A and B are shown apart, each in its own frame.
Chain A
Amino acid sequence: MELLEEKYNHSAERLDKPSQYLIKRAVRRQNFDNLQKSLHSKTVYVGNLSHFTTEEQIHELFSKCGSIDRIIMGLDRNKLTPCGFCFVVYKLEEGSLNAMKFLQKTILDGQSLSIDLDPGFREGRQFGRGIYGGQASQEASSENGQRGGFRGRGGFRSRGRGFRGGR
């Protein structure tokens, strides 16, 4: 897989590539289509949002990386309220790569954002996949007392290990 090969043409890691989560999942499933798609995607997945963060706030921050086509808020499957993630679809590929490079770990509403390239939004993915309808990773972290208490919120350390909603 060309994507996984190190090319030694930079003096540091590029931040605008898919996360280990996507790569590991692709390797595990031996299916690299999504990974390939995410490389040229105009969409980013944004996780670890506060449940009260609005589309407008996300627009305000993410439009600094390029013109936005639309934002799809991740919703609790049952309550249809925001549940901590969203997809930002840019008009150009440049926008999503910029978001990866520049906005990773930026604080919005007191939360450190986790951003990943996304193979593209499909209807249905806006809903949380946790047992209770919310985002699975957040539900998991609040069920597990130890983890939930860590950093006071489903912080980024649990990222990549938990089962993320919406994807």
Chain B
Amino acid sequence: MDSYNPGKRSRDDFESDNYAAPQQQFEDENAESKRQHVDPTQELINNVCKDIRRLGENPNIANQVADVSYISNPIVAEFEKIDNLRNAILSTIYAVIIEQPQKINALSNLILICNSKNFVVAKYVIEYLHAKAQTLLDSIAPKKEEADEDVDEEDAGVFNNLKSILKFLATLAPIIEGYSIINIFKQFLKLAIDLQNETPDNRNGTAQEIFYNSLIAVPYLFSNDFSQELIDQVNELVALAKDFKIVESATNTLLQPFDSKLDNYKLPYEPVKMIDLIYNAILTLQGEEKDWVNLKHKLFLDFSELLASIIEEALQNNPISNALVKHQLPQLSLPTIAQVQEYKPVGSIDKLWKENSRVLFQVYNSTEFETVPRIDSYFGLFFKDLSFDILTNLSFNKNEASIQLSILDLFFSKDLFAPPGSSIDSLTMIHEDNKSGENVPPLSTWKIEDIAVESILTMIFQLPVTLYREIYYYTVLISCCRESPESIAPVFGRAIRYFYNNLETLDYELKLRFLDWMTTQISNFEFSWKWDEWVADSQKFKHLRHHPKKNFIKNLIAKEVRLSNKNRIKDSFVAVNPETSEMVNLEEFYQYLNISLFEDETKFILDYDTALYNQEGTREILEKIHLEKREQLAAKPAVFAQEEIFFNFSLPELPLHGVASKVYDFVVAHWKPNTDFDELCKEILEATKEFPDINGIKFMINLIFQTYAYIGSRSIYSVVSILSRDVNKLKYLSGSPIEYTEQEPKFEEQEISPEEITDRQNWIIESIFRVWIHQPQEVFLILEYLIEFGILKPENLVLKTLDLENNLILENVSCMESMNRVLFNSSIATDKGDSFKKLILLLFNAITRNLNAISGELQEDKNEIIKITKDIEDPEALEVSKRIDQEWLFYEYKGLLKSYFRRYIKNSEIDYLSDIREIFDTIENVPAKDDMLQWLDEVSP
């Protein structure tokens, strides 16, 4: 038998390709330092467990089986004698099953061999896993006193873990008495069927999960046994699965990664639900003859011959019994239907199933041939399932997760995949040869890199939320790329192009994740990207602000600048001229290096300050100051962000500079009592009286807040520390309720109306906009702290970012991200009471108002779908551009609303539905309204 596939890389090849992976280095160092002190038993335990963790990583399967047989020797010899060894082995086996389920088959080889040498090992393992499964099931209905136990946030959930145990026990079918493993499968299938039947009209997510998990594990039964008896039993099992009723809501637009913008665009693909696929996938695998010939030797590695000889020999030499010992596997004691209905999953995957229909995400489906198995086939679902489990359960070691995903092909049938690192060109040639009949049988065009990357991207683009912080998945991708850059980089390139090409339909929130991922990704690889591909789009959308592609390019560059600096990013805008092979600078993108909050920074500053002073002649003075400072800055080789601040109050040319200097001295000094601050405020107001055209309060607020921001401008945390020092003083200015400490002198009671408070808070927001205009991320960080300290109400900031003149929430990535944090922090605030609901309703109302204003301006027939103009004949035509921009603005606001609906209304414990329906009913454009009312139907029980 040809057992060695030279095309496959082992883990060691992988690690030696580049510098040793940090993990490896760490372990070696560890081993070295331990070797001096560790006693032989401990060393044996360490070595055996390390071997178990590495099972299946050898590409030569003859050697692999020989290794397993070798590893089994100390295990069978010492298993009963050394308690610590036994316990360590059992926990390691469990960990591998849960965290690295791709190794289940290799692990079962070990147990089968051990069983033939000393059946007690297998008996222990089977009993241990049975007990583990029972413990998991028992945890569904926790006794009261256990309810508060620490929850493991890394856990994928009871039923997800049970799935992996089930898979493993299924591979042990040949040594389980009377195929009683089949009974356990039946137990789970019946539980799923009964659970769903309990609520015939409503989807039960847990029932779907149990059903899916049982079926995905079924083919494992054939790993080591293909007898007719087993085939008959499994067929019976599949027949039972027919009775499961799939209940789903009529539509699921909320969870779809793409949105057709009311049929303005065609979706890149029709999204499918996992639950709709699994049963048919199993039927196809079973085949018309029900002989499972489509599975036999096609998925799992065929160890049968290699194992048979070892097992036979071992049995002959076995002093106790020469016959194969089989073990009992009793049924599990399942929780009741009511208990499962009550089950509130902590584990991430269980929760995902329970709360949402699971929609599959596809990236690599645009080539003429398959680079990943069809999504509706068992193989397609199988690899997704494994990858999700690895990613979810190995999150404590991103390097290991990336290695295991990259070598996933190693654990399965050797002809299943094209050689690792195959380029699309070489796959195209294989495909051509397959078509012409040159390759008999046809060769695989599946790429393991595509499967791995698509699975990770599925997790990044998981709706409604990712299971872990996105950064985890980004860094797994980065690790994959570092391991083998030449083979992975093009895979990423294809994904990035795919998302970019579909930005028009990509879900609003997913666009943000795409931005975030791409920035993190390329920042780890010297910001290199084929920018020349996007030049034409940037030119075409010149006068558009809200076109998704234009918006993406602009904000991607802004995020890059935030992670690095303008010069470095500027240097990355290069391309090679194919004719001369010379480097060309792509000047088209230089415009985006200005990340200013408002387009014309200078004009904004001058207009703002002129209005604030409201004196004849100040504009000219301000212009002069501004020009001088610009010249100064231009002469410097490097400019720090804080040097770019235009802070003018104390310049002698300007009115009120005297009192401005006092404010400066007050803030820069150590803490002073409230009484001093009160006096300072009075002095400012008194001074402004000399200038009747100046709005005194507005001026005072600007002067004080800009001074704080300016003095703290050396770093965010300097400003935060001085702001936090003077919270009550600033609350006094913003009109927020003050909580005094015991001996703190109190301010006089102010009589200010709610409208005045709103004005004051808006002025505070504007003053921060003004002072940090050139660095929007600073603006929003400061504003977020002002909200955290209770100086500002989140409502005022939210409304400000939604104003239709600037649409900051859509246009500026720092603002988008900030608003998401503000909303999230408000949602988790412990003392939120009704205030969060109010905030959400205010947000929904405001966006709805914007939608109506935009559709009104577009003057469309209210009953018609708002059409997006796609052909831009003349990018310079301003009027046309303006209209197209409004069309996009409408759909971007709608997308934003959808993302907030999904995040805060769907699966919420607060009852919003009737209020939201009332708000949506006010939407004037009828097709948009109908579409949005459908979201409500999707979440209504």
Contact = CB atoms under 8 A, between A and B. Distances in A.
B95 interface: yes
B471 A11 contact: no
Contact of B400 (A8, A12, A72): A12
Interface stretch (B450-458, B713-721, B878-886): B713-721
Interface in B465-522: 469-472, 475, 478, 516, 520
Given A13-B397, A102-B469, A20 B716 contact: no
Contacts of A70: 717, 720-721
A101 B402 CA distance: 13
Contact of B95 (A11, A54, A56, A108): A11
A52 B395 CA distance: 32
Contacts of B564: 57, 109
Interface in B46-101: 46, 49, 53, 87-89, 91-92, 94-96, 99-100
Contact of B471 (A7, A15, A103, A105): A103
Interface in B554-577: 562-565, 568
A71 interface: yes
B608 interface: no
B396 interface: yes
Contacts of A52: 565
Contact of A57 (B563, B721, B778): B563
B722 to A, nearest CB: 13
A158 interface: no
Interface in B355-396: 394-396
Contacts of A30: none
Contacts of B526: 110
B27 interface: yes
Interface range on chain B (Cβ under 8 Å from partner): 35 or more
B737 interface: no
B524 interface: yes
A104 B53 CA distance: 23
A98 B563 contact: no
Q: Which of B396, B526, B564 has the most CB of A within 10 A?
A: B396
Given A70-B720, A103-B471, A13 B26 contact: yes
A3 interface: no
B445 interface: no
Interface in A99-125: 101-110
A11 B562 contact: no
A45 B538 CA distance: 41
A109 B919 CA distance: 47
Contacts of A12: 23, 53, 99-100, 394, 396-397, 400
A59 to B, nearest CB: 6
A64 interface: yes
A60 to B, nearest CB: 5
B471 A20 contact: no
A7 to B, nearest CB: 7
Contact of B524 (A64, A71, A106): A106
B305 to A, nearest CB: 28
Contact of A55 (B87, B478, B715, B721): B715
Contacts of B397: 12-15, 101
A66 B824 CA distance: 12
A105 B475 CA distance: 10
A31 B196 CA distance: 57
Given A14-B396, A56-B641, A60-B777, A102 B471 contact: yes
B750 interface: no
Contacts of A7: 91
A9 interface: yes
Contacts of B400: 11-13
Contact of B716 (A6, A24, A56, A106): A56
A60 B520 CA distance: 10
Contacts of A104: 22
16 contacts: A9-B94, A11-B394, A12-B53, A12-B100, A13-B27, A20-B29, A20-B33, A52-B565, A57-B564, A59-B716, A73-B715, A101-B396, A102-B469, A103-B475, A107-B524, A108-B523
Given A12-B400, A60-B562, A105-B22, 18 more contacts: A6-B49, A11-B99, A11-B100, A11-B394, A12-B23, A12-B100, A12-B394, A13-B26, A13-B400, A52-B565, A64-B516, A70-B717, A71-B715, A71-B717, A98-B469, A98-B471, A101-B395, A101-B472
Interface of A: 6-16, 20, 24, 52, 54-57, 59-61, 64-66, 70-73, 98, 101-110
Question: What 8 pairs across the A-B complex have the smallest Cβ distances?
Answer: A64-B471, A12-B400, A8-B88, A11-B95, A11-B99, A107-B524, A55-B715, A12-B397
